[in-house]
Amino acid sequence: MSHDITQWLAERLVQRHWMLSTAESCTGGLIASECTGLPGSSAWFDRGFVTYSNLSKTQMLGVPESLIELHGAVSEPVAKAMACGAAYRSSSMVAVAVTGIAGPSGASPDKPVGTVWLSWWINGCVQTELRQFVGNRGAIRTATAQCALEGLMHRLR
């Protein structure tokens, strides 16, 4: 992952006096790890939620069970709800959420391995994006984390 992007994000968040929170499923904390790997990150990184199971998405982030049942955990509505939940359950003005299928199992014909929904919550505005990554489990997880940080950078510009 690009430490330059993380450094850029850190500077912008500190300038705005904003905190960042993450809600991660398929990446299992990679985004939070990248952020907290930077010295001084406590000035701009509030917390990370690793909500791998559906129950944890509901308990920790407030994602309605009915939303998961209706759309599946890997869906736009769930990604949005995860980002909103991370923002509302923290002191953050910025949140990023990811939910996807890193493989090698867990795929379906309509959601193949590499399917990832990303969502960004910035000061009350939520945006989502569907991506299809290729590679093995590690490559998909790394690409997802990188995309989440790049997407945040583009949205904060």
Segments making up each domain of the chain, as ranges: 3-156
Closest CA to 28 of 45, 46, 48, 42: 48
How does pLDDT run across 37-72, given as a tens digit for each residue?
A: 999 999 999 999 999 999 999 999 999 999 999 999
Query: Read out DSSP for 89-105?
Result: TTT-SEEEEEEE--SSS
Give the mean model confidence (pLDDT) for residues 84-103: 97
In the CATH scheme, what is the homologous superfamily, with its name and number, of domain 3-156? CinA-like (3.90.950.20)
The CA-to-CA distance between both ends of the chain, in Å, stands at 20
**16-37 pLDDT per residue, tens:** 999 999 999 999 999 999 999 9
Average pLDDT, the chain: 97
Rounded CA gap, 66 and 73, in Å?
Answer: 11
Name which of 52, 146, 54 is nearest 96 in CA terms.
146
Least confident window among 1-5, 15-19, 93-97, 108-112:
1-5
pTM check: above 0.85: yes
Could you give the CA distance from residue 156 to residue 153 in angstroms, rounded to a whole number? 5
